[in-house]
Structure 1
Amino acid sequence: MSGAGPLTGSAPTPLPPSAPAAPAAPAVGPPASVTATFVRLKVAVLRNGLRQSRGRTAGWVVGVVLVLLYALGSGAGMIALRGNEYAPAAAATTATVLGLGWTVMPLFFFGGDDTLDATRLAMLPLRPRPLIRALLVSSLIGVGPLFTVLLAAGATVAVAHGAAAAMTAVVAVALVLVTCVAVSRAVAAANTRLLTSRRGRDLAVLSGLFVAVGAQLMNLGLSSLSSHHGLHRVTSVTAVLRWIPPAAAVDAVRSVSGGSYAVAAAQLVLTLGAAALALVWWHRSLHRLMVSPDSSSLQAAPETARAKGGARRSPVVRLLPGQLVAGRAGTVLERQFRYAARDPRQRSSWATGLAVGLLLPLVAVVQHGSVYQCLWTAGLLGMQMFNQFGMDNSAFWTIAATITSRRDAELELRGRALMLGSVALPYVTVVTVATAVLLGKEGALPEVLGMAFAFLGALISTGSYASVRFPYAVSADNAFGAAAAPGNGSLVAANALGGSAASAALCLPVLGLDVALHVADAHGALWTVLPVGAVYGAVLAAAALRFTAPRFLDRLPEILTAVTRA
């Protein structure tokens, strides 16, 4: 028993292994606000977009300054009408134009603003109601809402008289802004599937025509308002517009100024109801987009037919002289025709140029104007030469990889210029001849055609140089041909204005010949303007292609970088 203790004969009890310490529970804070997150994202997108390059930042700043100057000038003009008998009509019309612009804007520029596409948010765990609230608040950040606020403020100040009217004006401006943004977003959400489909992109080709026709109708309307009777007609139309939101909110300020408080309340309630209906429509459209499948999630139908045979040369290439279309130039010409037929952006750009180029001379015929208005046709088609590589986007590298010499660069530019000339020259000729015959001014036909051919050649020359020296990207998702990638708006305007001015300056010798013949009363020699203008335009275009070719070869990397920033 020696050595025995209380635990003698029993196994020692092992100590339990020490359990690992439980991880501390993370601190749970309040959930992040969806609205605040979207606002930060909107600010971050704007900031990061401006950081891509100094050129984009400068272009954006110049564009914003111009828009704000226009808004401030328009608002100041509205305020200057304060006390005028036509101020209420002008205020209601301004609000109506704002509402109409916000309504149709998504249909024309849907591809240029990715935030309009709600399907990009379909995979996020968000309900439509908080998503609407977040999108609505974030949509109030930008140049467009600020432009709307400035114009709406000018319209309300023009009709506000008294403290009560001033307080109503604050509410009216807020209602105008919210209604415009809500309607714009509702229209975009309701048409998202159409606008993102191939059919929608094909339909968007007509958007340029709608803009052109609308601008011309506005021009005719402004011309008809130049008389005193025209202003009375506007006043009559305003009697209806004052009850259509968002103009109803602006006219409510006038009603308060006149002591009609019940009418003002009805107009404000009407505008608020329109905003509510737009939000309900937006909610239903978002819900449908989030839960219903689209064509991208469905299995594609098997191919039923396969193209047979090789590609044949187009009739245009067969008609042109063989020396012009030999080798690479003919291949580029064929390629550009195929792009113009298949790319919705190029179809839009060409359709707009052709339609407006016919519309303006037609207006000249209706209004018994000048046959020289046909120069617009040459100008609009010649502008197609500007930014030749912007719509190629990242595919431009396949073109750049095959240009190894100055000769290759010149043939590439020549093929593109030939494509433009083969369409523009016969079109300008037909439109000019038809306009001169309808106006009964067949005698002016040679000089007008000569000036048109010279102007077209000058635009081809300046456009080829500008395409190489000042290229910019066109969004691949945007079917509206003239819409550049964000941040390039000022570069587009500079190309258009600078190129037009430079081309007009290059045409001064032909214009001088025309003027000299008129001053010398040598009307029998005016026919010489036609051959001189045609030869001069061709020489300008050929010289510019030869001058631009080495610069094109040297700037291939810079052009590729510029056109891929879409």
Structure 2
Amino acid sequence: MVGLLVRLKIRLLLNAFKVSTQTAVSFVFSSVAAAAVALGGFAGLAVLRGQTEAVDVTTVVFAASAVGWLVLPLVLFGLDSTLDPSTLALFPLRIRPLALGLIAASATGAWPLANVVGLLGVTVGLAVGVLGVLIAVVAVVLQVLFCIVLSRFVTTTLAGLLRSRRGKDFAALLILPIFALYEVFVQVVPRLTAEGKITEKSLDGADAWLRWTPPGLAAHAVFDASTGHPLTGLLRLLLLAAIVVVLGGLWIKQLAHALVTVDSTTHAAAVNSASLRFGNRGLTGAVAARTWVYQRREPRSLILWGMVVVLALATSFETLRTDYAFGLFSAAFFLSVFAGVFHGNLFGMTGSAFGFDAVALDGRTAMRAYFAGSNLVIAAIAAPLSAVLLSALAVYARHPATGLLALSINLAGLGAGMAFSNLFSAVLAYPVQKRPGNPTPKPVEGYSMHAVGIGCGSLVGTTLLLIPMIIAVVATGHVVAALRITALLVGGAAYGLLIAIAGVRISARIAAKRIPELAQIAMQSRL
């Protein structure tokens, strides 16, 4: 069973080259990234040799590895068919051989190997002597085995939930903290490290409680064996092995239960027969009502709005300490730009459902109503969200008046962002497709540059249209604060509204001539 499932996993990995060129490139890129992580992890742990904080940093690295194995399978559920026990329910397989086969299959691939190679850096950075190196190797093996068993236990326990609508929403929302952490590590951590604010000593307090977790037991076992306490190190490894055995037993029990339990996610769901709010207010109201439902319930929309907030914070938060005005204006600018960019492919993101919409869109007037209904909902979400976020940042920077000035620029920018989202929806519409295990779609092969064009065009266009507002903010610096803020807020809102109306009219004129073509593009989307 072990050999069969391992060969099946290898075959699934190799078949990536036969699916499409894009899949093959993604596989190669993933393998290269895994190799880079392996070498970087090994080197990062190896350079800790002789440093007093070596065991603390190693413990944090081991714990981060375990968290990755715990969270990522939930987000990417369905990407690896060995994770879902329902795919094996119809086969007459015994539980224990099946469990061993699933463990072996889960340990097969570039990323599990990268974990092992990267963590083996402790043999250089922390281990001392032959016994220390031997215990380090065993500790790494037990650490990776613990991560795999923990991941399988959680995914098997939540498999039924993750196949449901609510479970997929839950898994989708887990992307937001991961994306936020990514932005922090990419933008904030390197800057603080270069300034000397983050060093190895910054991790001293973490080891006080992490040392009693399974990853901490593995790291401290190596440290104990290398500092003349081999029996203590062996006891830590035995305790870690016992935890792995107990967790494995719980997983096998859950696996056996999952293979003989009826999947409740196939049951029919209740249908809400309530009328569509604002659906009787013409075409604009109907589009707005439907868009509001999608924005409120669709995990993809929640993720996009979360990404708007994270990106705006990541690009401005650290700047608030040195130049609060620039930080607040940057946040206002990027909030408006990203709100437009993420909605700049209206027809492609609607998918095949737009084929039914196209039947009712018989001209320029109908297309104006279609764009206007979508813009109303986006503005109803983006404006309050921006106001709350900018107010919070202004309070943090202790300059609330500047936050109101930034809001005036944001209101104008939202109008520009929606105008360009409508324009690019009409000019650069492209089909999208779902990514396995990921709720955010990607462009269909051959249309990647359309997405790049929308992003770059929205960024440049919004910047140019905001120049009058920026000049107005600078030129009114001598005016009384209350009068200045009121005038700029009203003027920014009016300016943004005029830009949005102009964008709707121009976009409707273009889209009305391309309705059959836009419907064909939307029908190519695979959502």
TM, length-normalised to structure 1: 0.72
Whole-Å Cα distance in 1 between the matches of residues 46 and 506 of structure 2?
A: 50
How has the CA–CA distance of structure 1 residues 297 and 239 changed in structure 2, closer, same or farther, with 3 Å as cutoff?
A: closer
Would you say the 8 A contact 1:409–1:552 is kept in 2? no
Find the counterpart in structure 1 of residue 61 from structure 2: 94
Find the counterpart in structure 2 of residue 352 from structure 1: 306
2:379 is the alignment partner of 1:421: yes
Post-superposition CA distance 1:84-135 (Å, at most 9, x none)? 2222221110110111221233333325544422122211111221211121
Offset of residue 449 of structure 1: 2.5
What does 1:196-345 correspond to in 2, within 5 Å?
Answer: 196-204=163-171, 206-208=173-175, 210-211=177-178, 231-232=200-201, 234-295=203-264, 307=273, 310-313=275-278, 327=283, 329-343=284-298, 345=299
How has the CA–CA distance of structure 1 residues 459 and 271 changed in structure 2, closer, same or farther, with 3 Å as cutoff?
A: farther
How has the CA–CA distance of structure 1 residues 101 and 56 changed in structure 2, closer, same or farther, with 3 Å as cutoff?
A: same
Find the counterpart in structure 2 of residue 321 from structure 1: none
Residue identity in the other structure for 2:162: L
Find the counterpart in structure 1 of residue 496 from structure 2: 534
Find the counterpart in structure 1 of residue 91 from structure 2: 124
2:329 is the alignment partner of 1:372: yes
How has the CA–CA distance of structure 1 residues 340 and 553 changed in structure 2, closer, same or farther, with 3 Å as cutoff?
A: same
Whole-Å Cα distance in 2 between the matches of residues 121 and 388 of structure 1?
A: 39
Question: Aligned with 1:474: secondary structure?
Answer: strand
What does 1:385-404 correspond to in 2, within 5 Å?
Answer: 385=343, 388=346, 392=350, 395=353, 398-399=356-357
Find the counterpart in structure 1 of residue 12 from structure 2: 45
Whole-Å Cα distance in 2 between the matches of residues 521 and 311 of structure 1?
A: 46
Would you say the 8 A contact 2:145–2:244 is kept in 1? yes
Would you say the 8 A contact 2:16–2:27 is kept in 1? no
Q: Of residues 149, 154, 157 in structure 2, which corresponds to 1:190? A: 157
Would you say the 8 A contact 1:348–1:481 is kept in 2? no
Whole-Å Cα distance in 1 between the matches of residues 206 and 397 of structure 2?
A: 34
Residue identity in the other structure for 1:427: L
The structure whose Rg is larger is: 1
Question: Aligned with 1:110: secondary structure?
Answer: coil
How has the CA–CA distance of structure 1 residues 395 and 134 changed in structure 2, closer, same or farther, with 3 Å as cutoff?
A: farther
Q: Which runs of 5+ in 2 are unaligned?
A: none
Whole-Å Cα distance in 1 between the matches of residues 23 and 510 of structure 2?
A: 24
Whole-Å Cα distance in 1 between the matches of residues 210 and 420 of structure 2?
A: 46
Residue identity in the other structure for 2:306: T
Find the counterpart in structure 2 of residue 145 from structure 1: 112
Offset of residue 238 of structure 1: 1.6
Would you say the 8 A contact 2:175–2:303 is kept in 1? yes
2:39 is the alignment partner of 1:82: no
How has the CA–CA distance of structure 1 residues 178 and 205 changed in structure 2, closer, same or farther, with 3 Å as cutoff?
A: closer
Offset of residue 69 of structure 1: 3.4
Find the counterpart in structure 2 of residue 15 from structure 1: none
Find the counterpart in structure 2 of residue 69 from structure 1: 36
Post-superposition CA distance 1:3-46 (Å, at most 9, x none)? xxxxxxxxxxxxxxxxxxxxxxxxxxxxxxx3333233323333
TM, length-normalised to structure 2: 0.76
Whole-Å Cα distance in 1 between the matches of residues 17 and 503 of structure 2?
A: 36
Would you say the 8 A contact 1:353–1:381 is kept in 2? no
Question: Aligned with 1:123: secondary structure?
Answer: coil
Whole-Å Cα distance in 2 between the matches of residues 409 and 142 of structure 1?
A: 49
Offset of residue 385 of structure 1: 1.1
Find the counterpart in structure 1 of residue 406 from structure 2: 448
Question: Aligned with 1:473: secondary structure?
Answer: strand
Would you say the 8 A contact 1:357–1:381 is kept in 2? no
Post-superposition CA distance 1:67-94 (Å, at most 9, x none)? 5435544543333333322222211101
Offset of residue 237 of structure 1: 2.8
Post-superposition CA distance 1:130-182 (Å, at most 9, x none)? 21112111112334324423431335432234444344333333222222111
User: Which deviates more from structure 2 when the two are superposed, residues 406-415 or residues 253-262?
Assistant: 406-415
How has the CA–CA distance of structure 1 residues 306 and 430 changed in structure 2, closer, same or farther, with 3 Å as cutoff?
A: closer
Whole-Å Cα distance in 1 between the matches of residues 383 and 63 of structure 2?
A: 41
Question: Aligned with 2:19: secondary structure?
Answer: coil
Whole-Å Cα distance in 2 between the matches of residues 544 and 276 of structure 1?
A: 66
User: Which deviates more from structure 2 when the two are superposed, residues 427-436 or residues 282-291?
Assistant: 427-436
Whole-Å Cα distance in 2 between the matches of residues 92 and 496 of structure 1?
A: 41
How has the CA–CA distance of structure 1 residues 439 and 40 changed in structure 2, closer, same or farther, with 3 Å as cutoff?
A: same
Find the counterpart in structure 2 of residue 169 from structure 1: 136
Offset of residue 280 of structure 1: 1.0
2:434 is the alignment partner of 1:474: yes
How has the CA–CA distance of structure 1 residues 435 and 242 changed in structure 2, closer, same or farther, with 3 Å as cutoff?
A: closer
Residue identity in the other structure for 2:461: L
Identity %: 26
How has the CA–CA distance of structure 1 residues 172 and 270 changed in structure 2, closer, same or farther, with 3 Å as cutoff?
A: same
Would you say the 8 A contact 1:361–1:435 is kept in 2? no
Would you say the 8 A contact 1:339–1:346 is kept in 2? no
Whole-Å Cα distance in 2 between the matches of residues 473 and 532 of structure 1?
A: 37
How has the CA–CA distance of structure 1 residues 403 and 543 changed in structure 2, closer, same or farther, with 3 Å as cutoff?
A: closer
RMSD between aligned alpha carbons?
Answer: 4.8
How has the CA–CA distance of structure 1 residues 531 and 294 changed in structure 2, closer, same or farther, with 3 Å as cutoff?
A: closer
Would you say the 8 A contact 1:390–1:472 is kept in 2? yes
Residue identity in the other structure for 2:243: A
Would you say the 8 A contact 1:390–1:474 is kept in 2? no
Offset of residue 398 of structure 1: 4.2
Q: Which runs of 5+ in 1 are unaligned?
A: 1-33, 319-325
Whole-Å Cα distance in 1 between the matches of residues 30 and 84 of structure 2?
A: 24
